[in-house]
Amino acid sequence: EMRQYMPPMHVKFIEAVENGPSVRDFVMACNKESVKKLFNESVELVADFRALHLEYAGTYIHAQSQKTPGNPSAVGTGGTPFMVYLRKHRDETRNQPVG
């Protein structure tokens, strides 16, 4: 679990967001196109950030680890296959716009 590696205040923040109200549900219940448009633009910006993060991870972590013998290139700090993990989050984010 990645949270074992995070500072306690970061974990508390994530838990507060998880336990709070859903912004997506609020936007979906709202009948204002301007709110939906802003939400979708925000989702796209987060997806763009995640795509860039994936690109940097591929360039600076995965590619560099291939040059070092015995270095597990597909495993991140928490023991996860980080390229798969980052792609999954990017793709899930791209699938969140509201209509």
Q: Per-residue pLDDT for the chain (99 aa), expressed as one digit of tens each? A: 688 889 999 999 999 999 999 999 999 999 899 999 999 999 999 999 999 999 998 888 766 766 666 655 666 666 677 888 899 999 999 999 998
Q: What is the pLDDT of residue 99?
A: 87
- Does pTM top 0.85 for this prediction? no
CA distances to 38, 63, 67 from 51, in Å: 20, 17, 24
> Rounded to the nearest 10 degrees, how much is the dihedral formed by the CA atoms of 44, 47, 53, 59?
-90
What pLDDT, on a 0 to 100 scale, did the predictor assign at position 53?
94
